[in-house]
Amino acid sequence: MTDKNIKECQKSLDFVLGWFAKPIFIDGDYPESMRSNLSSLLPEFSEDEKKYIKGTADFFALSFGATLSFQLLDSHMKFQQLESISLRQLLYWISCEYNNPPVFIVENSWFVSGSTKRDDAKYIYYLKKFIMETLKAIRYDGVNVFGYTVWSLLDGFEWHRGYTTDKKLMPKSSVLFYQKLIEKNGFPPLPENLPIEGVFPCGFAWGIVDNYIQVSLMVKLVGSPAKPVVKIILINWPDRVSWLTFITTVFEGDGCKDFVANTMPFSLHLDMLCDQLLKSVLFK
């Protein structure tokens, strides 16, 4: 790899992660590569503002999944994914770049074929690889990872079919794999785990995430409804089960109209979902 490629790679990470991480975890200001490339488009911060921004996060929330390529337009590659599971390298880079902050992996996994029925062996393969990468980062690289959340709680059929398809909730084989993994807190030295073995630190948090509801709560802007997407994360702490929600706003066109007529209160949706999931296989 040439020096130019290394610099371009660093710039890419600055624009994706450093945009927020450097101000919060380092010095309160944007990366130099962003300053030099965007110049006046970025606001200037006073010294007081920099001090205020620095340290405003309790942990580094990382979402890591498929690598998208806009050059390799191969129809056989789902969403143009490059099969790279270099999560360990990224975790180590974050640790070195941002003074080893506490890292919570809030979303991680891989797209698999929509035709997969109950036996999703390929998904289990990727899931096991990602979790092992996380364990290696903790044990061998000293990265301060304290939680891992797998994507996705439900199949993502809504991406291209909206919410028009009625699906039954049936656990796949990956549910049992992840359930056993949580029970053992990793890969204890058992014959079925060889050659992979090792457990996570005591108190490690396991979870699962999904975009579980979209409700029109905001006014229409430029002809498109702005709908908050609520990411719900079910976390299985050692002594309790907790819910975390992250709300982000997306602007949609005419693709998904199913929830426009939905008048059920938002809190009732959440209560119903929580009640059903707490009765499910995964966290028993």
In the chain, what are the domain boundaries? 58-207
- Please say whether the beta carbons of 224 and 251 come within 8 A: yes
pLDDT at residue 231 in the model: 57
- Please say whether the beta carbons of 130 and 89 come within 8 A: no
When pLDDT is cut at 50, 70 and 90, the band that residue 68 belongs to is very low
The candidate with the shortest Cα–Cα distance to 106, out of 151, 137, 141, 67, is 151
Backbone φ and ψ of 82, nearest 5°: -105, 125
Cβ neighbours for 7, distance < 8 A, ≥ 6 positions apart = none
pLDDT at residue 260 in the model: 36
pLDDT digits (tens, 9 = 90+) for 141-196: 999 999 999 988 777 666 666 666 666 778 888 999 999 999 999 998 877 667 67
Lowest mean pLDDT among 48-57, 81-90, 250-259: 250-259
pLDDT at residue 275 in the model: 62
pLDDT at residue 80 in the model: 46
Angstrom distance (rounded) from CA 277 to CA 271:
10
For helices 121-139 and 87-97, the axis angle rounded to 10 degrees is 30
Question: Which of the pair, 117 or 131, is modelled with greater confidence?
Answer: 131
Cβ neighbours for 162, distance < 8 A, ≥ 6 positions apart = 255, 256, 257, 258
User: In the numeric block, which tokens belong to residue 76?
Assistant: 């056989």
Lowest mean pLDDT among 111-125, 191-205, 263-277: 263-277
Q: Which residues of 40-77 are buried (b: 16+ CB within 10 A; e: fewer)?
A: eeeeebeeeeeeebbeeeeebbbebbbeeeeeeeeeee
Cβ neighbours for 151, distance < 8 A, ≥ 6 positions apart = 65, 107, 108, 109, 208, 209, 210
Backbone φ and ψ of 84, nearest 5°: -120, 125
% of the chain with per-residue pLDDT over 70? 60
User: In the numeric block, which tokens belong to residue 60?
Assistant: 């580094």
pLDDT at residue 82 in the model: 52
- Please say whether the beta carbons of 79 and 66 come within 8 A: yes
Q: Considering the chain, what is the average pLDDT of its residues?
A: 75
Quick check: 70 pLDDT over 90?
A: no
Lowest mean pLDDT among 45-49, 57-61, 178-182, 255-259: 255-259
pLDDT at residue 137 in the model: 96
pLDDT at residue 189 in the model: 81
109-121 average pLDDT score: 75
User: In the numeric block, which tokens belong to residue 194?
Assistant: 């060889």
Backbone φ and ψ of 34, nearest 5°: -75, -40
pLDDT at residue 23 in the model: 97
Angstrom distance (rounded) from CA 37 to CA 193:
48
Angstrom distance (rounded) from CA 66 to CA 276:
29
Q: List, as own/partner pairs, every contact residues 180-185 make where C-beta atoms lie below 8 angstroms and the sequence separation is at least 24, other chains included.
A: 181/131, 181/206, 182/206, 182/236, 182/283
pTM flag (> 0.95): no
Question: Which of the pair, 136 or 192, is modelled with greater confidence?
Answer: 136
pLDDT digits (tens, 9 = 90+) for 196-224: 778 999 889 888 876 544 444 443 444 44
When pLDDT is cut at 50, 70 and 90, the band that residue 45 belongs to is very high
For helices 173-184 and 121-139, the axis angle rounded to 10 degrees is 20
